[in-house]
C-alpha cells in the first residue's frame, strides 16, 4: 500500500513561493527543494472556502465538506440570546462532519495528524494526533494517545512551550510593529517550526503511518506581520539596513522550511505520494473598512455605553462586538468573520426586525453596502456580498452569517468605533486571498501546471484515494483527476463508498480550554490582525 504524506502550508501563495524558488542576484534560491518538487510534480491554484479564513478552510480540507455542512465559519461561535450575545471559541465538538483522520482510521489506515486547527479535544483514532491552536499547558491532555507526550519527551530539548503557542512570551514582544517587534516575532517561529518538524520526523520514522499529515503555520503568521519584506512587488529600489535585516530573517524561515520539506519527503520514501496545500493564499490590503461604524451611521446598530470601570473598558476593548443589543438589528461580530448578522425578533418585544421584513431589509442592506466607495479613489470597497443560502447551503446553513463581505482588496473588516468608516492604510499589510496552492509528487502523479483553481474540498478526496479508500458519497470534494496519471486512474479506479458516519453536532459543553487561556488565544488573534484594526 502506498504511503501518503500531506504537508499543510498555512497561507502559502505562489506569489511568494515562485519568487523564493527563483535564483535572485545576491540571494540565490531560497527554497531549492521546493523548486525541484514543483518542477517535477503537479501544481495548481487551490480555491479556498467562500470566506478564505483559517478555521473554515482547514476544516473543509480535512472533512471534504463545505462550511454549510461542517458548520465552522470563524474562530468564534455567536450565540444570540436576543437581549445579549455571547461569543465562544469553536473546537472539534462544533464540527458536524467526520474528518479524514477518522475515516481513514476506521478503515485500518494508521494516521498521524499534527498541528491542524479545530482538532481539540482530540478524537480517538488508530494513530496519533496533536492539535494546533492550543496553549502549551493544555497540550498534553489534548493529544492522543495518552502515552504520546512521554514519547515526545525523548526529543532533545523538547518542551511544549516550543511546540504550542506560547502566549506569555509572544505578548512580551509588544504591540507596536517596529523593527524589534518584527525581528522577535519572526525569530520566535524558527524554533517552533523546528520542533514540529522534529515531532513529525519521529512519528514518521517510528510509527510508519499510512497517512502522515503535518501543518506548518509560520508561513501565515510571518506573511501577516512581514508582508512588506516578502512581497517582491514591494521590494524597494534602495533598501535600508533595517529592511535588509528583516527580509533576511524572513528568508531564513523559508530556507529552514525548505529543509523540513525535503527531509519529510525523503523519509516518506520514493513510493510515497506527497501532497502539499494551503488553506488560502495571500495578498496586500491597502484600506480599512470599519463596518460597524458604517452600520451605526445607517442606524442599524448602537455601540454600548462604556461605564467608568475597568471591567467595562476591558469588554469595550475586546476583539468582538460590544453593542447595545436592545437597539441593534445588524452587526459584524468579529473582524475575522467579515460577516453581517441580521437579528430577527422571534417574539414581539424582542430586539431585531420582524420575520416578514427580512427579505426586504436584507436587499436594502446589500444595496447600501455596495454603495460604499473609497473617499480618495472613488472605487467600490466591497467586490462581492455572499448570502447564506447560496454560499453556505447544507445542514449548518442556519448558523451561517446572513451576509459575508468580500472586500475589494480581500482585507479583513474592522469593528472599531472610529471615523471615518473607510480609510486608506499608510502601508499595505498582508491579508488572505481566496487562491492558495496545491502541489503533488511521487508515483502516479501527473506533472505539470493546471490553470483552473481546484476546490479545497477536493484535497480530502485525493488523500483518501491515495490511501486506496473509497470516496464517501456525501463528500463535496472529488478527486483532482488532473493530478493523477492515466495509468494510476486505470489501475486504481476511483471508488465511491458509503456516506461518512454521523457525528455529534456542536453543543455548548464544558470548555476544553479555560476562560483565561481563551482570552490569550483572542489576544494572539488580535496580534495577527484577525481580531482588530
The widest CA-to-CA distance across the chain, in whole angstroms, is 72
pLDDT given for residue 495 in this prediction: 97
Same domain, 204 and 267: yes
Whether 67 contacts 77, CB under 8 Å: no
pLDDT given for residue 509 in this prediction: 35
Same domain, 215 and 269: yes
DSSP 8-state assignment for residue 421: S
In-domain check, residue 216: yes
Task: Retrieve residue 444's grid coordinates.
Answer: 502516479
**CATH number of the domain where residue 239 is located:** 3.40.720.10
Same domain, 292 and 417: yes
- Scanning 112-165, the segments in alpha helix (DSSP H) are 148-152, 160-163
Query: Over 98-116, what HEC string results?
Result: CCHHHHHHCCCCCEEEEEE
pLDDT given for residue 193 in this prediction: 93
pLDDT given for residue 259 in this prediction: 98
**C-alpha to C-alpha distance for 42 and 273, rounded to whole angstroms:** 11
Of 37-41, 53-57, 172-176, 480-484, where does mean pLDDT reach its minimum?
A: 172-176
Instruction: Note the pLDDT tens digit of each residue in 499-529.
Output: 999 987 433 334 455 555 556 566 656 555 5
pLDDT given for residue 521 in this prediction: 61
Across the strands, what pairs with 131?
116
Same domain, 518 and 386: no
Within 10 angstroms of residue 509's Cβ, the number of other Cβ atoms is 11
pLDDT given for residue 409 in this prediction: 96
Rg (CA), the chain: 23
Same domain, 244 and 376: no
In-domain check, residue 139: yes
In-domain check, residue 261: yes
User: Which three-class secondary structure state does DSSP give residue 414?
Assistant: strand
**C-alpha to C-alpha distance for 104 and 463, rounded to whole angstroms:** 9
In-domain check, residue 236: yes
Same domain, 38 and 52: yes
Residue with C-alpha cell 479545497? 456
Q: What element of type H or E holds 8?
A: strand 4-9
**C-alpha to C-alpha distance for 370 and 85, rounded to whole angstroms:** 27
Within 10 angstroms of residue 398's Cβ, the number of other Cβ atoms is 11
Whether 217 contacts 164, CB under 8 Å: no
Same domain, 152 and 290: no
Q: Domain count of the chain?
A: 2
Domain final residue pick, 415, 430, 445: 430
pLDDT at 437 over 90: yes
- Predicted TM-score of the model (pTM): 0.92
In-domain check, residue 78: no
Same domain, 313 and 444: no
**C-alpha to C-alpha distance for 277 and 385, rounded to whole angstroms:** 27
Span 139-160, average pLDDT: 91
pLDDT at 533 over 70: no
pLDDT at 427 over 90: no
238 class by beta-carbon count within 10 Å (0-12 exposed, 13-18 middle, 19+ buried) = exposed
pLDDT given for residue 363 in this prediction: 98
Cα dihedral 60, 62, 64, 69 sign: negative
Cα distances (Å, whole numbers) of residue 457 to 87, 276, 369: 27, 14, 30
Same domain, 426 and 439: no
**C-alpha to C-alpha distance for 430 and 305, rounded to whole angstroms:** 33
Domain final residue pick, 430, 457, 486: 430
pLDDT given for residue 186 in this prediction: 83
pLDDT given for residue 528 in this prediction: 54
**C-alpha to C-alpha distance for 320 and 293, rounded to whole angstroms:** 14
pLDDT given for residue 346 in this prediction: 85
pLDDT given for residue 511 in this prediction: 46
pLDDT given for residue 172 in this prediction: 36
397 class by beta-carbon count within 10 Å (0-12 exposed, 13-18 middle, 19+ buried) = middle
In-domain check, residue 255: yes
Domain final residue pick, 399, 430, 461: 430
Query: What band does 26 get if pLDDT is binned at 50, 70 and 90?
Result: confident
Contacts (Cβ under 8 Å, ≥6 apart) of 446: 42, 482, 483, 484, 485, 486
Domain span at residue 393 reads 286-430
Same domain, 387 and 270: no
137 class by beta-carbon count within 10 Å (0-12 exposed, 13-18 middle, 19+ buried) = middle
The helix/strand count (H/E) of the chain reads as: 18, 19
Cα distances (Å, whole numbers) of residue 277 to 2, 10, 318, 437, 450: 19, 8, 33, 5, 14
Same domain, 15 and 128: yes
**C-alpha to C-alpha distance for 397 and 395, rounded to whole angstroms:** 6
Same domain, 234 and 102: yes
User: Which of the given ranges, 115-124, 157-166, 444-453, has the highest pLDDT on average?
Assistant: 444-453
In-domain check, residue 74: no
In-domain check, residue 79: no
β 211-216/111-116 pair status: parallel
Span 289-308, average pLDDT: 91
Instruction: Note the pLDDT tens digit of each residue in 229-284.
Output: 999 999 999 999 999 999 999 999 999 999 999 999 999 999 999 999 999 999 99
Within 10 angstroms of residue 365's Cβ, the number of other Cβ atoms is 20
User: Which of the given ranges, 134-148, 158-172, 328-342, 517-531, has the highest pLDDT on average?
Assistant: 328-342
Q: How far is CA 530 from the centre of its chain?
A: 11
- In the predicted model, what is the mean pLDDT of the chain? 90
Span 166-194, average pLDDT: 67
Instruction: Note the pLDDT tens digit of each residue in 317-342.
Output: 666 788 999 999 999 999 999 999 99
Amino acid at each position: 500500500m502506498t504511503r501518503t504524506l500531506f504537508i499543510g502550508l498555512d497561507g502559502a501563495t505562489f506569489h511568494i513561493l515562485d519568487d523564493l524558488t527563483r535564483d535572485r542576484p545576491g540571494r540565490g534560491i531560497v527554497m531549492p527543494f521546493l523548486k525541484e518538487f514543483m518542477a517535477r510534480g503537479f501544481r495548481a491554484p487551490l480555491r479556498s472556502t467562500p470566506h478564505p479564513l483559517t478555521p473554515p478552510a482547514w476544516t473543509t480540507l480535512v472533512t471534504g465538506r463545505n462550511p454549510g455542512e461542517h458548520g465552522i465559519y470563524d474562530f468564534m461561535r455567536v450565540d444570540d440570546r436576543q437581549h445579549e450575545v455571547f461569543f465562544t471559541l469553536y473546537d472539534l465538538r462544533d464540527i458536524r462532519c467526520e474528518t479524514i483522520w477518522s475515516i481513514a482510521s476506521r478503515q485500518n489506515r494508521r494516521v498521524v495528524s499534527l498541528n491542524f486547527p479545530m482538532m481539540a479535544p482530540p478524537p480517538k483514532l488508530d494513530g496519533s494526533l496533536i492539535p494546533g491552536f492550543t496553549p502549551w499547558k493544555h497540550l498534553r491532555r489534548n493529544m492522543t494517545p495518552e502515552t504520546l507526550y512521554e514519547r515526545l519527551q525523548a526529543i532533545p530539548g523538547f518542551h511544549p512551550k516550543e511546540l504550542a503557542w506560547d502566549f506569555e512570551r509572544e505578548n512580551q514582544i509588544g504591540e507596536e510593529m517596529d523593527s524589534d517587534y518584527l525581528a522577535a516575532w519572526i525569530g520566535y517561529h524558527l524554533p517552533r517550526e523546528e520542533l514540529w518538524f522534529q515531532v513529525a520526523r519521529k512519528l514518521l520514522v517510528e510509527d510508519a503511518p499510512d497517512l502522515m499529515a503535518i501543518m506548518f503555520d509560520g508561513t501565515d503568521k510571518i506573511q501577516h506581520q512581514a508582508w512588506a519584506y516578502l512581497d517582491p512587488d514591494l521590494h524597494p529600489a534602495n533598501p535600508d539596513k533595517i529592511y535588509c535585516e528583516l527580509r533576511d530573517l524572513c528568508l531564513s524561515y523559508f530556507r529552514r522550511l525548505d529543509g523540513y520539506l525535503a527531509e519529510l519527503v525523503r523519509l516518506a520514501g520514493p513510493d510515497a505520494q506527497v501532497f502539499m496545500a494551503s488553506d488560502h493564499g495571500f495578498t496586500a490590503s491597502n484600506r480599512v473598512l470599519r463596518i460597524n461604524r458604517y452600520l451605526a451611521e445607517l442606524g442599524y446598530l448602537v455601540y454600548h455605553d462604556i461605564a467608568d470601570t475597568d471591567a467595562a473598558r476591558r469588554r469595550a476593548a475586546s476583539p468582538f462586538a460590544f453593542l447595545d443589543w436592545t437597539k441593534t438589528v445588524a452587526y459584524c461580530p468579529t473582524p475575522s468573520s467579515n460577516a453581517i448578522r441580521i437579528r430577527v425578533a422571534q417574539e414581539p418585544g424582542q430586539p431585531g426586525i420582524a420575520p416578514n421584513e427580512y427579505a426586504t431589509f436584507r436587499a436594502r442592506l446589500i444595496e447600501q453596502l455596495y454603495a460604499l466607495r473609497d473617499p480618495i479613489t472613488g472605487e467600490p470597497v466591497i467586490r462581492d456580498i455572499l448570502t447564506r443560502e447560496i454560499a453556505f447551503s447544507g445542514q449548518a446553513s442556519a448558523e451561517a452569517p446572513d451576509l459575508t463581505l468580500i472586500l475589494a482588496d480581500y482585507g479583513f473588516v474592522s469593528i472599531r468605533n472610529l471615523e471615518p468608516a473607510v480609510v486608506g492604510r499608510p502601508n499595505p499589510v498582508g491579508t488572505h486571498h481566496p487562491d492558495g496552492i496545491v502541489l503533488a509528487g511521487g508515483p502516479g502523479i501527473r506533472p505539470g501546471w493546471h490553470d483552473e483553481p481546484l476546490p479545497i474540498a477536493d484535497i480530502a478526496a485525493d488523500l483518501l484515494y491515495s490511501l486506496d479508500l473509497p470516496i464517501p458519497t456525501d463528500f463535496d470534494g472529488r478527486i483532482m483527476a488532473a493530478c493523477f496519471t492515466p495509468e494510476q486512474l486505470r489501475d486504481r479506479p476511483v471508488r465511491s463508498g458509503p456516506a461518512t458516519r454521523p457525528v455529534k453536532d456542536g453543543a455548548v459543553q464544558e470548555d476544553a480550554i479555560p476562560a483565561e487561556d481563551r482570552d490569550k488565544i483572542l489576544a494572539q488573534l488580535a496580534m495577527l490582525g484577525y481580531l482588530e484594526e
